[in-house]
Amino acid sequence: MAALYPFVLTLVLQWLAGFGVMATLRSTLPRSIVAPIALLLGAFLETLVVVAVDRLGIGLSFTSVSLGMTLVVLATHARWSVVKSWYGTLVSSPSVSIRMYDVVAFIIAAYLVFVGMWAAYYWPVTPFDAMAGIDLMARQSVIDGTLNNSVLTDPALAGRLSNQPFYAPFAMLQQVIYRLMGWPFGQLWLPVMSFAFFWVMWALFRRYAHPFIADVLLLLLVMVPELHGYTYLLQTDFLNAVYVSIGVIILGLDIERRDNKNLVIAALFMAAGCWSRTETIAVIGLGMIASFPLLRNAVGMRKALSSIGVVIAASVTAFAIWHVWYFYGVFPVRPESGTEIVGFSIAKFTDVVSATFGDVIADMGLWGWTMPLFVLVLALSVLRNKSVGDRWLLVWTITILLALEIVGTLFASAVVGQTIRRGVFKLIPLMYLFMARSPVVSSLSAALQAWELGRGRNTASNQRKG
């Protein structure tokens, strides 16, 4: 438990850094999601601090990384007058209305998350990919005090490292941070991130749906079997899903208000997505292109183009720091990624699509009722309300799926049952938020609220609009 104080200090620093960035950028995100977003942002920033400390030639240690993080906190609070007024708005009296079923849902969700938290704390790193890759790198980086560690030059491993140690570094750097704190297996960042992620999703569900429905959606999200497993198993995919989906959601929240005031925050989340899985750069590129008409309609051509530019620039920067700077300028060896890419073939694409739907998407053991519920809600919205619902989320859901299929076709090592299965994680939060924002759930929410208030539905509905 000696690692507890460093853990608390790290969380405080991450939180403050996240708040500082959001304040400096004058974030207009809903207050209900600011705290978990700040924590996630701070966690991403700390990994950049690790890279900065490493490149400055300062040995990696808890002290050096924490001092670096403290500098980030100070820098993000440098414009104190701006930051102070933002904090003032943030802490003004909240208007949260908690119901009895909220308490029950919270207890159930907390129990489910706790079990994952305990597993992440107690069990050693388990997945082969992590032991042969990101955690092997993290462990040796902590021993050697540098990311350019001796695993890369060990004759016993020469030519045998494969591509696992070279995965996009976010998860590896989190392992470095948590191992530097003294946690023997690292990993505790996984439950921290899942806690923040579920908090964001719950707050968003409550923003759009009746609290009871929001609670049900939260519980269904927490209980998605495959997703829950990766809240304590060390892999890059859950992390990637958290950052990409929140980036998409933040952009969507801006579009809802027809501005792009949180563009940089969204871009940072997208960049963190590219920092956690290599192929995400293609997913984001395709997603931004596919959603361009919606962006343009919402904020105009100029802002839409600048949005795409900022998001792509941030994503490319994150991608380049690792895949260009580290691979070609720092590390003595690098993976032969080029040989992984095979030519596009319609036949293979068809096979990949068929296997994805047949073996992955249709498997309720992986996703619970997510897929049938999503289809049902979409169908009911179209039939009953003549609307598909939230087009932004729908476009991104479809585009991410398409991008995964293309990646599965182009990369020889991409396996439908593994790579695409875990890539589907990115869709899950978007699908649940899509359901929360659907016309059908909106109608259901209005009816439920009317019933709960003991009034006619129209009265309650009018009151909400008022």
Q: Which of residues 442-461 bind another protein (CB under 8 A)?
A: 442, 445-446, 449, 451-454, 460
The stretch near another protein (CB under 8 A) out of 95-103, 194-202, 324-332, 341-349 is: 95-103
DSSP states of 108-132: HHHHHHHHHHHHHHHSPP--HHHHH
Residue 405 touches another protein, criterion: CB under 8 A: no
Q: How far is the CB of 363 from another protein (least distance, A)?
A: 9
Neighbours of 129 (CB within 10 A): 16
The stretch near another protein (CB under 8 A) out of 6-14, 20-28, 91-99, 351-359 is: 91-99
For the segment 233-272, give every residue that binds another protein (CB under 8 A). Answer: 249, 252-253, 255-256, 258
Q: How far is the CB of 424 from another protein (least distance, A)?
A: 15
Residue closest to 43 by CA, chosen among 189, 242, 182? 189
Cβ(105)–Cβ(219) below 8 Å: yes
Coil, strand or helix: which one is 411? Answer: strand
In degrees and rounded to multiples of 5, residue 341 shows phi and psi of -85, 125
- Residue 131's alpha-carbon distances to 126, 150, 151, 165, in angstroms, are 7, 16, 13, 9
Cβ(219)–Cβ(275) below 8 Å: no
The stretch near another protein (CB under 8 A) out of 174-182, 187-195, 267-275, 365-373 is: 365-373
Residue 413 touches another protein, criterion: CB under 8 A: no
CA end-to-end span of the chain, whole Å?
53
Amino acid of residue 85: S
- Residue 156's alpha-carbon distances to 149, 151, 364, 386, 457, in angstroms, are 14, 9, 43, 63, 71
Question: Alpha-carbon distance 303 to 258, whole Å?
Answer: 10
Residue 340 touches another protein, criterion: CB under 8 A: no
Number of chain positions touching another protein (CB under 8 A): 92
Cβ(69)–Cβ(215) below 8 Å: no
Cβ(271)–Cβ(314) below 8 Å: yes
Residue 398 touches another protein, criterion: CB under 8 A: no
In the bound state with another protein, the residue whose beta carbon lies nearer, of 341 and 453, is 453
Q: Which of 63, 84, 89, 118 binds another protein (CB under 8 A)?
A: 118
For tokens 């007058």, name the residue: 81
Q: Which of 285, 287, 389, 408 binds another protein (CB under 8 A)?
A: 389
Residue 395 touches another protein, criterion: CB under 8 A: no
Q: Which of 6, 50, 188, 210 binds another protein (CB under 8 A)?
A: 210
Residue 435 touches another protein, criterion: CB under 8 A: no
The stretch near another protein (CB under 8 A) out of 8-16, 72-80, 105-113, 262-270 is: 105-113
Residue 273 touches another protein, criterion: CB under 8 A: no
Compute the radius of gyration of the chain from its Cα atoms.
22
Site mask for another protein (CB under 8 A), range 167-186, x = bound? -----------------x--
Residue 411 touches another protein, criterion: CB under 8 A: no
For the segment 305-334, give every residue that binds another protein (CB under 8 A). Answer: none
Q: How far is the CB of 100 from another protein (least distance, A)?
A: 5
Q: Which of 223, 305, 316, 355 binds another protein (CB under 8 A)?
A: 223
In the bound state with another protein, the residue whose beta carbon lies nearer, of 76 and 291, is 291
Question: Alpha-carbon distance 309 to 349, whole Å?
Answer: 30
Query: What are the beta bridge partners of residue 411?
Result: 341
Residue 88 touches another protein, criterion: CB under 8 A: no
